[in-house]
Amino acid sequence: MHSFVELWVYLSATPLFGLTATLVTYVLAQAVYQRVGHAPWANPVLWSVLALAALLTASGTPYPTYFSGAQFIHFLLGPAVVALAWPLWQRRAELRSRAVAVLAAALAGGAAAAAAAVGLGWLLGLPEPVLRSLAPKSVTAPVAMGIAEQLGGIPALAAAFAVLTGLVGAVSAKYLFDALRIAEPEVRGFALGTAAHGIGAARALQVHPDAGAYAGLALGLQVVLAALLMPLLARLF
């Protein structure tokens, strides 16, 4: 027990704390996820976030201290997103033949996601900065923060909304698709990537390669379309 306390004191005072805590938590969550047959409710990202939040709260560890180590994993997010282009390249001929339909679906899906969030927030009487932060909630977090700043929202709040949206989508999508009797992996993947960005795309990749490819495509389209159109629409209206 004394050795454990000494190890905790050492790790909590160095960048190794954030890195070690994140890796250990995710590995354990991934093991449980595989043990239960990749059930959506056992999503390892969701349980890792909850476990790390509980750990930081219980230990009184400031978030900047944690992130000083976790930033090494955060850096890998960029290459991971770029790697989603490989499944798209393998299906480039198929995607060319569906280009118009895919673009129309991306526009409709992104508009529906933003309008539903802002509309519901307006009905609930949320302040305007919160509404502006809600608009990019289906765009991956780093881009959502930049869009929210341009819209006059709160970047940190936009990031929280984006992460929460991705987690809810990854956990609930299978049950919703089954209830609607949507079986095609391409459709399921594209819808998941449109609504739940990177976290949804990661879930789609685990389920089916075609679903993962179309989820990655939807993620990329939402980033481009939202970054171009949301600030423009905000100025117009």
pLDDT by residue (tens digit) across 102-135? 899 999 998 998 999 999 999 999 999 999 999 9
- Residue 228 sits at the vertex; the CA angle it makes with 129 and 171, to the nearest 5 degrees, is 65
In the chain, which stretches have pLDDT less than 70? 1-15, 237
Other Cβ atoms less than 10 A from the Cβ of 13: the count is 10
pLDDT the model gives residue 59? 81
200-207: long-range contacts, CB 8 A cutoff, minimum separation 24: 200/166, 200/169, 200/170, 200/173, 201/84, 202/45, 202/170, 203/40, 203/43, 203/169, 203/170, 203/173, 206/38, 207/38, 207/174
pLDDT given at position 45? 84
Q: Which of 182, 181, 192 is nearest to 217 (CA)?
A: 192
Would you say the C-alpha torsion 83, 87, 89, 94 has a positive or negative sign? negative
Q: How far apart are CA 197 and CA 170, in angstroms?
A: 9
Q: Which pLDDT belongs to residue 13?
A: 55
pLDDT at position 10, please?
A: 54
Quote the pLDDT of residue 14: 60
Instruction: Record the pTM.
Output: 0.77
Q: Are 139 and 197 in contact (CB under 8 A)?
A: yes
